[in-house]
Structure 1
Amino acid sequence: MPLYEYQCTECNKQFELRQKFSDEPAKECPSCGGPVQKLISQSGFALKGGGWYAEGYNSGGKKSEAPSCPSGGSCAGCPSAAA
């Protein structure tokens, strides 16, 4: 569920609410009961560690090489692929 940030227009208190996409936006402050407005905040999304970006799309990173295969790269009929 997304986390939404609100600010009261009367007491200026900021608070967060976890809400479903289908939920109506909050309308009143939990502290004073005044009207609130939804804030636009920076997302918390970050790519960390290894993975597809670091190994496949990042031009500065090392690309992992596929292990050498005695059959020339085809796994069809390879005895180690059946194991």
Structure 2
Amino acid sequence: MPIYEYQCNSCGKTFEARQKFSDPPLNDCKVCGSGDVAKLISQTAFTLKGGGWYQQGYGAEGKPAACATSTGEGGGCAGCPKAANE
């Protein structure tokens, strides 16, 4: 569920609210209770969780896995930097 950031026009405080996409925007300030809030546009956070390309490939230290299209006889992908080193 996304986290939205709001700012109260009365007290000036900002607060966050976890809402579904289908939920209507908030109307009341969580800090002072005023009914004059505005939804802010803020930076988003992006997190990769679980197994996937980043954890299994680019994030791993050491020698990368063999090229999937390599023939094992010194051949490989055209233009592949790994094939040029073989």
**TM-score, with length taken from structure 2:** 0.56
Partners of 1:23 and 1:45 in 2: CA distance = 22
Partners of 2:52 and 2:20 in 1: CA distance = 30
| Residue-pair matches, total | 62
How much has 1:34 moved relative to structure 2?
3.6
For residue 39 of structure 1, what is the amino acid of its counterpart?
L
How much has 1:66 moved relative to structure 2?
6.0
Q: 1:1-83 to 2 correspondence within 5 Å?
A: 1-30=1-30, 31-46=32-47, 51-53=52-54, 55=57, 63-65=64-66
Q: Deviations over 1:47-68 (max 9, x none)?
A: 59x9524737xxxxx541169x
1:70 corresponding residue in structure 2: none
How much has 1:28 moved relative to structure 2?
1.8
Gaps of 5+ in 2: 69-86
CA RMSD of aligned residues (A): 2.8
**TM-score, with length taken from structure 1:** 0.58
How much has 1:23 moved relative to structure 2?
0.5
Identity %: 56
Preserved contact between residue 5 and residue 38 of structure 1 (Cα < 8 Å): yes
Preserved contact between residue 5 and residue 16 of structure 1 (Cα < 8 Å): yes
Gaps of 5+ in 1: 57-61, 68-83
